[in-house]
């Protein structure tokens, strides 16, 4: 039955390419998605599934009931775009100024729709159910996963899987990892209030730019020497705003940046150290400060048994030589919320292809991936569903839930 479903997916490939390219031409930003969820809901309804819209706000779920009783597998894809100007010269270039699919969510969405279509053709052979989760707003904290879960999208679900295409992995390859895969991602903003003055008389001012520069340098101590070096941590200042004239010391400066961690201990230590370093530097200079620290998504923790299932299935789909255990990823993903609530795993599918210039990193204005990655995602999802539902001896998933926040 798996081969029949794969054939259905392959036969649908050209339609999936058209869907993906339409999504790419008409992207929608996080929390502003209207046409995308409507399109997904219409497609899933045509597949004969039980569709719910407005889940958590803009999410869509669709339930496929198998021909035999059993457990329920959830498959998730995200569909929001980014505020980036598309600079590719391709026929499906974004037609929405300043908005593009620069992370592959159009690929994820089309692949999951193809999976739903293929599985709907063999549903009588499934010993259980499949829930298709089309999620909005993955790119912007607080994200769509958390509110969709709060709205009940995982009710009755036993296991959940998700996939992400990567432009850094060649097309045809699949990556997996047990336990931690992707980092927790937090945001911080530091406001330094000094005393403005003339650039020629700094002794009469309290220079927030100077204080901010000291803070930026000192923040580098956190990952280097204040957190266990075996616990990967990134602290990066990405924005420094202060003054707009070459000879005027401003009243204030604003720094902002991101923190990436895996463990609860590293996350809490990073926040504590950012606050201590900032307050100490400002106190020494006679300046005032405010630190705003916002917790983002938790880290993605793959349940070992489900990650092993992914590895085994990937070898069947792509061949053992094309499957590898990937290193820790410092990017963040709100799929983390799903695997906090249910056993499951998140895996990576290659989309790099130099022949079509699909080599640019995610969130780059020229980002693109090989559309054949949709077949890899779809075949992985189809095979995971059959392996879990139709082999009860393999359903004894690890039940403990690892909470990383």
Do 24 and 34 share a domain, yes or no? yes
Side-chain-side CA neighbours of 398 within 13 Å: the count stands at 19
Do 262 and 158 share a domain, yes or no? no
164 is in an annotated binding site: yes
- Report if residue 404 sits inside a domain: no
* Token pair 């899933």 in the structure block, residue: 44
- Report if residue 389 sits inside a domain: yes
Q: CA-to-CA distance for 38 and 49, rounded, in angstroms?
A: 15
pLDDT tens per residue, the chain (405 residues)?
899 999 999 999 999 999 999 999 999 999 999 999 999 999 999 999 999 999 999 999 999 999 999 999 999 999 999 999 999 999 999 999 999 999 999 999 999 999 999 999 999 999 999 999 999 999 999 999 999 999 999 999 999 999 999 999 999 999 999 999 999 999 999 999 999 999 999 999 999 999 999 999 999 999 999 999 899 999 999 999 999 999 999 999 999 999 999 999 999 999 999 999 999 999 999 999 999 999 999 999 999 999 999 999 999 999 999 999 999 999 999 999 999 999 999 999 999 999 999 999 999 999 999 999 999 999 999 999 999 999 887 776 554 444 444
Q: CA-to-CA distance for 94 and 87, rounded, in angstroms?
A: 9
Do 333 and 188 share a domain, yes or no? no
- What CATH number does residue 193 fall under? 3.30.70.360
- Report if residue 317 sits inside a domain: yes
pLDDT of residue 405: 40
How many C-beta atoms lie closer than 10 Å to residue 286's C-beta? 10
- What CATH number does residue 91 fall under? 3.40.630.10
Helix (H) or strand (E) holding 151: none
- Pairing assessment for the beta strands 59-65 and 127-135 based on DSSP bridges: antiparallel
How many C-beta atoms lie closer than 10 Å to residue 42's C-beta? 12
Both tokens assigned to 183: 């980092």
Distances (CA, A) of 294 to 138, 232, 258: 16, 19, 10
pLDDT of residue 98: 98
pLDDT of residue 397: 53
Per the CB < 8 A criterion, the answer to whether 29 and 108 are in contact is: no
Among candidate residues 272, 294, 316, the one where a domain is terminated: 294
* Angle, CA 301 vertex, CA 300 and CA 306 arms, to 5°: 120
Give the closest residue to 228 by CA, choosing from 264, 186, 256, 257: 264
Both tokens assigned to 320: 């053992």
CA 80 to chain centre: 11
Question: Among residues 28, 138, 186, 387, which one is catalytic?
Answer: 138
Do 137 and 26 share a domain, yes or no? yes
Q: CA-to-CA distance for 389 and 86, rounded, in angstroms?
A: 41
Total domains, the chain:
2
Among candidate residues 294, 317, 352, the one where a domain is terminated: 294
139 is in an annotated binding site: yes
DSSP assignment string, 213-234 = HHHHHHHHHIIIIIS-TTS--E
Reduced to 3 states, what is the DSSP secondary structure of residue 132?
Answer: strand
- On the 0-12 / 13-18 / 19+ scale of CB atoms within 10 A, 65 is middle
Q: Distance between terminal CA atoms of the chain?
A: 41
Q: CA-to-CA distance for 226 and 131, rounded, in angstroms?
A: 44
- Report if residue 401 sits inside a domain: no
* pTM (2 d.p.): 0.93
Q: CA-to-CA distance for 14 and 7, rounded, in angstroms?
A: 13
Do 373 and 243 share a domain, yes or no? no
pLDDT of residue 395: 78
Side-chain-side CA neighbours of 48 within 13 Å: the count stands at 11
pLDDT of residue 151: 98
How many C-beta atoms lie closer than 10 Å to residue 296's C-beta? 20
103 is in an annotated binding site: yes
Do 116 and 8 share a domain, yes or no? yes
Distances (CA, A) of 386 to 63, 305, 309, 389: 16, 16, 12, 5
Lay out the sheet containing 323-325: strands in order across. 50-55, 59-65, 127-135, 68-78, 159-170, 344-352, 174-176, 323-325
Do 44 and 173 share a domain, yes or no? yes
Do 279 and 304 share a domain, yes or no? no
Do 191 and 174 share a domain, yes or no? no
Do 236 and 283 share a domain, yes or no? yes
- Report if residue 402 sits inside a domain: no
Active site residue 279: no
Question: Among residues 78, 80, 86, 333, which one is catalytic?
Answer: 80
Active site residue 151: no
- Report if residue 25 sits inside a domain: yes
One-letter-per-residue 3-state SS of 312-365: HHHHHHHCHHHEEECCCECCCCCCHHHHHHCCEEEEEEEEEEHHHCECCCCCCC
Per the CB < 8 A criterion, the answer to whether 77 and 148 are in contact is: no
Q: CA-to-CA distance for 150 and 314, rounded, in angstroms?
A: 31
Among candidate residues 294, 313, 347, the one where a domain is terminated: 294
Do 178 and 94 share a domain, yes or no? yes
Do 13 and 113 share a domain, yes or no? yes
Q: CA-to-CA distance for 81 and 32, rounded, in angstroms?
A: 10
Both tokens assigned to 75: 């498959």
- Report if residue 399 sits inside a domain: no
Q: Which domain holds residue 268?
A: 184-294
């Amino acid at each position: 039955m798996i081969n029949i479903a794969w054939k259905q997916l392959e036969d649908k490939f050209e339609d999936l390419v058209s869907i993906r390219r339409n999504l790419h031409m008409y992207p929608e930003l996080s929390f502003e998605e209207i046409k995308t969820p409507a399109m997904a809901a219409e497609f899933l309804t045509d597949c004969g599934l039980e569709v719910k819209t407005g889940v958590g706000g803009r999410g869509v779920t669709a339930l496929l009931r198998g021909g035999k009783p059993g457990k329920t597998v959830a498959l998730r894809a995200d569909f929001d775009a980014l505020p980036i100007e598309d600079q590719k010269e391709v026929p499906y270039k974004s037609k929405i100024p300043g908005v593009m699919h620069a992370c592959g969510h159009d690929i994820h969405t089309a692949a999951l729709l193809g999976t739903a279509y293929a599985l709907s053709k063999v549903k009588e052979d499934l010993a259980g159910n499949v829930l298709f989760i089309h999620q909005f707003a993955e790119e912007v904290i607080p994200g769509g996963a958390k509110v969709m879960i709060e709205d009940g999208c995982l009710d009755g679900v036993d296991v959940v899987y998700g996939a992400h295409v990567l432009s850094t992995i060649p097309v045809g390859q699949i990556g997996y990892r047990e336990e931690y895969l992707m980092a927790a991602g937090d945001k911080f903003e530091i406001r330094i209030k000094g005393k403005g003055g003339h650039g020629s008389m700094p002794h009469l001012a309290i220079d927030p730019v100077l204080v901010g520069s000291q803070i930026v340098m000192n923040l580098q101590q956190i990952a280097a020497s204040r957190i266990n070096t075996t616990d990967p941590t990134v602290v990066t200042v990405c924005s420094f705003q202060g003054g707009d004239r070459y000879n005027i010391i401003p009243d204030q400066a604003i720094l902002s940046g991101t923190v990436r961690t895996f463990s609860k201990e590293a996350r809490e230590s990073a926040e504590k150290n950012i606050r201590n370093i900032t307050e100490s530097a400002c106190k020494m200079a006679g300046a005032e400060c405010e630190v705003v620290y916002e917790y983002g998504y938790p880290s993605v923790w793959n349940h070992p048994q489900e990650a092993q299932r992914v590895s085994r299935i990937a070898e069947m789909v792509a061949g053992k030589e094309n499957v590898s255990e990937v290193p820790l990823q410092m990017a963040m993903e709100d799929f983390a919320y799903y695997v906090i609530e249910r056993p499951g795993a998140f895996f990576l599918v290659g989309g790099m292809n130099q022949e079509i210039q699909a080599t640019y990193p995610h969130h780059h204005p020229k980002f693109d991936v090989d559309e054949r990655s949709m077949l890899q995602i779809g075949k992985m999802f189809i095979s995971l569903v059959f392996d879990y539902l139709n082999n009860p001896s393999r359903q004894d998933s690890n039940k403990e839930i690892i909470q990383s926040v």
